[in-house]
Amino acid sequence: MLEPAQIRRRGAQDFEGYYDHVCAAQRSAPVRAVQASLSRGMLEFNPDHISLADWTPILSALAINKHLQHVLSFFQVIKLSGKETYSIDVF
Overall average pLDDT of the 9-36 stretch: 89
Q: Which residues pair with 82 in a beta bridge?
A: 79
Domain that holds residue 16: 4-89
Predicted model pTM? 0.75
pLDDT, greater one: 38 or 55: 55
pLDDT, greater one: 14 or 90: 14
pLDDT, greater one: 91 or 59: 59
The reported pLDDT for the residue numbered 44 is 83
What share of the chain has pLDDT > 90, as a percent? 25
Number of domains in the chain: 1
The reported pLDDT for the residue numbered 82 is 65
